[in-house]
Amino acid sequence: PGPFLSVRDLSVQFGTEDGVVHAVDRLSYDLEKGTTLGIVGESGSGKSVSTLTILGLHDPAVTTIGGEIWLEDRQLVGAPRATLEKLRGDRIAMIFQDPLTSLSPYHTVGRQISETYRKHKGASKREARDRAIEMLRRVGIPHAQTRVDDYPHQFSGGMRQRVMIAMALVCDPDLLIADEPTTALDVTVQAQILDLLKDLQQQFGTSIILITHDLGVVARTAHDVLVMYAGRAIEQGSVREVLREPRHPYTWGLLGSMPRLNSNVDLPLLPVRGTPPSLLNPPSGCPFHPRCDYRDLVPGDMCATDRPELSPAGGHRDACYLTLAQKREIFDGQIKER
Ligand code: SF4
Ligand code: MG
């Protein structure tokens, strides 16, 4: 059997008043059962769009999708809306940064969790309520028995995110897509929620796609990582490989904002200079070249003219013309400097 989720050459374009946006450009990755893939990038890198497509949550009137998305033996690109709708909530669930966008303010959390369960599992009211209480307990909400009758606004931000997770997992989905699930929370609560997700993953065997701009979140939670820039994968591999020896200059920039693995010292923030590129009119050559400090090391003006492809399949891969020796030397130098 192949991987649980397999994305091949996924491209997503949509029409706007200003022209065609190339949101995702030939993206490929695999997700193994029960593991977490972190998709990292700045806003506008295509990291959210690439996963909304899995759920069919795009406007078909303006969107063109190319490539393949296999969920086990099922092809999701071009699948009927009804099929995707049935998969959502049952086999695939999603949590967002702000639970208030997904939770209704007018109903108790118990009612919302149990309705999801009844809709997909055909359970009785009684069973569904018991299941809601059990889920609230499993996500660590104290006094679940009584809190089940509270409304979303009666919970703190962190507790509300737990409610959201309870609702997402109530049908025991195979795949959970978490889009910036902890971005709005303070650091301590953030760590608690990430640990909870890891814990639940072990209990339920859920596969997770975690979308974030923060490599620190990936380091804490994910098994594999995919770094996106301008709609493309520019580096991917296991979290261990990519964080120990990142190879792409953009990944070095992202790393500047997180503490080094095996170290308790916070490194100074080294933001990537410049702004993310327009996806209406992506840069020629390497999409990162207008912001890259190392393009002079590459012969000719290749960085500006020719698109670097990801190195061949398997293991740790990146899309940059520097030699592996140059990448190692530059990154080691950066670590010493700090
Ligand atoms: Fe920089 Fe060139 Fe590598 Fe792109 S290919 S990241 S511009 S050195
Ligand atoms: Mg987003």
Q: Ligand 1 pocket test: which of 294, 297, 318 has the largest number of ligand atoms within 8 Å of its C-beta?
A: 294
pLDDT of residue 81: 87
Q: Ligand 2: distance of its center to the CA of 43 in Å?
A: 6
Model confidence, pTM: 0.91
Query: Rounded distance, CA 126 to CA 130, Å?
Result: 6
Task: Provide the sign of the torsion angle of the four alpha carbons 205, 207, 212, 214, taken in this order.
Answer: positive
Q: How far apart are the CA of 278 and the centre of ligand 1, in A?
A: 18
Task: Report which ligand 1 atom has the smallest distance to the Cα of 249.
Answer: 6
Q: Which residues pair with 66 in a beta bridge?
A: 11
Which ligand 1 atom sits nearest the alpha carbon of residue 293?
1
Q: Which atom of ligand 1 approaches the CA of 321 most closely?
A: 5
Q: How far is the CA of 220 from the centre of ligand 2 (A)?
A: 20
Instruction: For residues 330 and 245, give the distance between their C-alpha atoms in angstroms, rounded to a whole number.
Output: 11
> Which ipTM value was assigned to this complex?
0.95
Name the DSSP letter for residue 307: P
| pLDDT recorded at residue 273 | 75
Task: Transcribe 14-26 into DSSP letters.
Answer: EEETTEEEEEEEE
**C-alpha–C-alpha distance, residues 94 and 176, integer Å:** 6
Residue 60 has a pLDDT of: 78
Residues 6+ apart with CB under 8 A from 145: 133
Cβ partners under 8 Å of residue 303, min gap 6 = 285, 286, 289, 292, 295, 321
CA of 179 to the centre of ligand 2 (A): 7
**96 within 8 A of 180, measured Cβ to Cβ:** yes
Contact 110, 79 (CB under 8 A): no
Domain 5-91+173-337 CATH class label? alpha beta
Output DSSP code: residue 197: H
Q: At what angle do helices 125-138 and 157-169 cross, to 10 degrees?
A: 130
308: left (phi over 0), alpha (psi -120 to 50) or beta: beta
Predicted pLDDT of residue 265: 42
Residue 282 has a pLDDT of 87
What ligand 1 atom has the least distance to the C-alpha of 308?
5
Burial class (CB in 10 A: 0-12, 13-18, 19+), 150: middle
Helix (H, G, I), strand (E, B) or coil at 173: coil
Tell me which of 229, 232, 289, 323 to substitute to probe ligand 1's pocket, judged by most ligand atoms within 8 Å of the beta carbon.
289
Domain boundaries of the chain, sorted by first residue: 5-91+173-337
Q: How far is the CA of 175 from the centre of ligand 2 (A)?
A: 18
- The ligand 1 atom at the shortest distance from the C-alpha of residue 248 is 6
Q: What pLDDT tens digit does each residue of the chain (338 aa) get?
A: 678 999 999 999 988 899 999 999 999 999 999 999 999 988 888 888 888 888 888 787 888 999 999 999 999 998 988 888 888 878 999 998 777 778 899 999 999 999 999 998 989 999 999 999 999 999 999 999 999 999 999 999 899 999 999 999 999 999 999 998 888 888 888 889 999 999 999 999 999 999 998 898 999 999 999 999 999 999 999 999 999 999 999 999 888 755 544 444 444 445 677 777 888 888 999 999 999 999 999 999 999 999 999 987 778 999 999 999 999 999 988 877 76
Q: Whose CA is nearest to atom 5 of ligand 1?
A: 320
**292: enclosing H helix or E strand:** none
Contacts of 270 (CB under 8 A, 6+ apart): 252, 253, 256, 257
Strand pairing of 232-238 and 317-318? Answer: antiparallel
Q: Which of 227, 288, 305 to mutate to test the pocket of ligand 1 (most atoms within 8 A of CB)?
A: 288
Which residue in 245, 249, 243 sits closest to 222, CA to CA?
A: 243
